[in-house]
Amino acid sequence: MSQSPTLEAARRRTFAIISHPDAGKTTLTENLLLAGGAIRAAGQVRARGENRRTRSDWMKIERERGISVSASVMTFDHEGLMFNLLDTPGHEDFSEDTYRTLTAADAAVMVLDAAKGIEPQTLKLFEVCRLRDIPIVTFINKMDREAQDPIELLDEIASKLALDPAPLFWPAGSGGRFKGMLDLRSQQFLPFAKRTADNKDEGHPEALGLADGAISRFLDPTELTELEEGALLIQEASKPFNPAAFLEGHMTPVFFGSALRHFGIDQLLAGLGAYAPPPKSVLAHKSGAEIHVEPGESEVSGFVFKVQANMDPNHRDRIAFLRLCSGRFQRGMKLKVQNTGRQISVNAPIMFFASDRELAEEAFAGDVIGIPNHGVLRVGDSLSEAGLLRFAGLPNFAPEILQRVRVKDPLKAKHLKKALEGLAEEGVTQLFRPQMGSDFIVGAVGQLQFEVMADRLANEYQLDVLFEPSPFAEARWIGGAPSEVEAFVDTHKSAMATDIDNQAVFLAKSAWEIGYVSERYDNLSFQRTRERG
């Protein structure tokens, strides 16, 4: 019996995790997988060497530095729901990858460090969520370390993000005094157990009522009074949680806990299951008309939001991450790429578990599947059975740093071209080919991207490269009537390049030059972003 695309989509929860670096996002990711039954033991995140590797950080440079620089996807079944967890890079140098990943998410978990509150990168990522109307769940992490007053943290969410915070739990103390938290809906107290003297973690005791005599084992009378008064105060001061206001992006349910000690994680996962939205209709273009594609429609459709090469170093593979928008996908189906009309047979689609994978026999709206391909699929491509649907493209942003790149061994110049094109197709960096001169120019949002690029070129392509200063400081895509663009290109050859999609790019030595040229050529537009797809 075939499953209903509508019913299957309704049980999907596809969410991204966003945070400032070091807020504990990767630890939270791993503990959500543990809570969901997807893994049996959490990794030693603070340990050194290979033990440092968590399930979602599989790239060599990620394991060495303990940071996430590539978005990963993990799928798991729990309590009758199918969760697709999208882990995003926390480092701001990879904001473009994060932005694209958020296009595939229906909700986001914002992780805050209880001692630091909302940090600059958290604010940036939140703005992206707001642009895309993505509802946000807040998890205040590291409550077992010294923390800000929780009321101050809630005030910060309200003032900096213009979101109504609705705490579903209330903490009893923080740092060395952290004893657990009260479920404000059931009035059950969840005790937090410290590690034993020999550093063993024996788990946390069962929840119990405040009136239960056994509460004295965890809270002394002063602490109990403090918790009850704090809970009463916050319930009077904050708006009650309203699921509709959350889905509209006006309110955020707030959870507290410690990801490293697996405290509050089960409650967060239950909250995601109960409140995070299933896939919704997606805006698309078909034969020139705007339409909404519903998850339950029979035609299979989706868009590529990420391409990753060499996830498996043994197989030089190249995987396109496809977020499904409608229909019941089955292995072996033929799908058409809208912008090229090319038909592909999807014979070996995969479901992800970080770098582990298994064949996907079927998938539904909300799921993310991997399609192995050799350069056929690009970021921003729209796929469907008829090949007529085009989903809104994913943006490329003007890079903030431009550098020349060359390979130390001149005999490997052709290999460098192929490797740079592959990395540009993944969206790791942007590649510009100047009309004059033979050196490639690589653009990135931040310096760390160049380090990752050099690391991957060395490890995956065996290419030893040099990055050198470029004479250019700014890049802009040129828009306008084709004849006028062509005339501009002809008269500015020394400053012209093409990108990976063969689009004209103006390279300027300064921001002043951009202003000067755009004033002189007011019939053209010099764009900071370009939509792919």
> Alpha-carbon distance 341 to 29, whole Å?
38
- Mean pLDDT to the nearest integer, 481-507: 91
First to last CA, the chain: 36
**Rounded Cα–Cα distance for residues 145 and 194 (Å):** 12
In this predicted structure, the answer to whether residue 57 has a pLDDT above a threshold of 60 is no
**pLDDT (0 to 100) of residue 179:** 94
Q: Write out pLDDT tens, residues 90-105.
A: 445 445 677 778 889 9
Helix ranges (H only) for 146-293 are 150-161, 221-237, 243-247, 265-275
In terms of phi and psi (left: phi > 0; alpha: psi -120 to 50; beta: otherwise), the region of 405 is beta
438: Cβ contacts below 8 Å, ≥ 6 apart:
none
pLDDT band (50, 70, 90) for residue 53: very low
Nearest 5°: CA angle at 277, between 241 and 41?
Answer: 95
Rounded CA-CA distance 474/514 in Å is 8
Please give the pLDDT value at position 274: 97
Report the pLDDT value the prediction gives residue 126, as an integer from 0 to 100: 81
Phi, psi of 316 (to 5 degrees): 35, 45
What confidence score (pLDDT) does residue 135 get?
96
Report phi then psi at 339, rounded to 5.
Answer: -80, -20
Q: 282-392 with 396-532: one CATH topology?
A: no
What pLDDT, on a 0 to 100 scale, did the predictor assign at position 310? Answer: 60
Residue 70 phi/psi, 5° resolution? Answer: -140, 135
CATH classification (class only), 282-392 = alpha beta
Whole-number pLDDT of residue 71 = 42
For residues 84 and 69, the model is more confident at: 84
Q: What is the mean predicted confidence (pLDDT) over 496-525?
A: 90
The order of strands in the sheet holding 169-172 is: 169-172, 180-183, 188-191, 208-209
Indicate whether 356 pLDDT > 80. no
User: In this prediction, what percent of the chain has a pLDDT beyond 70?
Assistant: 86
Spatial separation of the C-alpha atoms in residues 199 and 321, rounded to whole Å: 41
pLDDT digits (tens, 9 = 90+) for 465-483: 888 889 998 899 999 999 9
Domain boundaries, the chain: 17-70+91-275, 282-392, 396-532
Superfamily per CATH, domain 396-532:
Peptide chain release factor 3, domain III (3.30.70.3280)
Nearest to 25 by CA among 109, 143, 104: 109
Cα–Cα distances (Å) from 224 to 23, 114, 214, 215, 228, in that order, read: 29, 22, 12, 9, 6
Sorting pLDDT into bands at 50, 70 and 90, what band is 345? very high
How many Å separate Cα 531 from the centre of its chain? 19
pLDDT at 405 over 80: yes
Burial class (CB in 10 A: 0-12, 13-18, 19+), 248: exposed
* Top-confidence residue, 216 or 51: 216
pLDDT digits (tens, 9 = 90+) for 103-135: 899 999 999 999 999 887 777 778 778 877 899
The CA angle 381-384-390, to the nearest 5 degrees, is 50
Homologous superfamily of domain range 17-70+91-275 = P-loop containing nucleotide triphosphate hydrolases (3.40.50.300)
- What span, in angstroms and rounded, lies between the C-alpha atoms of 392 and 532? 9
**How far is Cα 454 from Cα 460, in angstroms, rounded to an integer?**
10
Q: Which residues, in sequence order, are CB contacts of 431 under 8 Å at separation 6+? A: 420, 421, 423, 424, 440, 441, 442, 443, 499, 500
Chain-centroid distance of CA 505 in Å reads 28
Angle at 337 between CA 320 and CA 461, to 5 degrees: 35
For the stretch 14-51, pLDDT in tens is 999 988 777 788 888 888 888 887 665 554 333 323 33
Whether the CB-CB separation of 419 and 407 falls below 8 Å is answered with no
Give residue 47's pLDDT.
34
Q: Which two tokens stand for residue 106?
A: 């229906």
Report how far residue 397's alpha carbon sits from residue 531's, in angstroms, rounded to the nearest whole number.
Answer: 9
What mean pLDDT value characterizes the chain? 84
Consecutive H or E run containing 192: none
Kindly tell me if the per-residue pLDDT of 236 is higher than 60.
Answer: yes
Mean pLDDT on 260-281: 95
What is the model's pLDDT at position 201? 66
Which tokens go with 256?
A: 């507290």
Strand ranges in 428-520 using DSSP code E only, listed in sequence order:
430-434, 440-444, 465-469, 474-479, 496-498, 504-508
* 8 Å CB contact between 301 and 293: yes
Q: Which amino acid, 421?
A: E
User: What is the model's pLDDT at position 331?
Assistant: 94
Looking at residues 72-81, what average pLDDT do you find?
86
Mean of pLDDT values over 161-186? 93
Task: Fill in the DSSP letter of residue 508.
Answer: E
Which H or E element spans position 491?
helix 482-491
Give me the count of residues in the chain.
Answer: 533
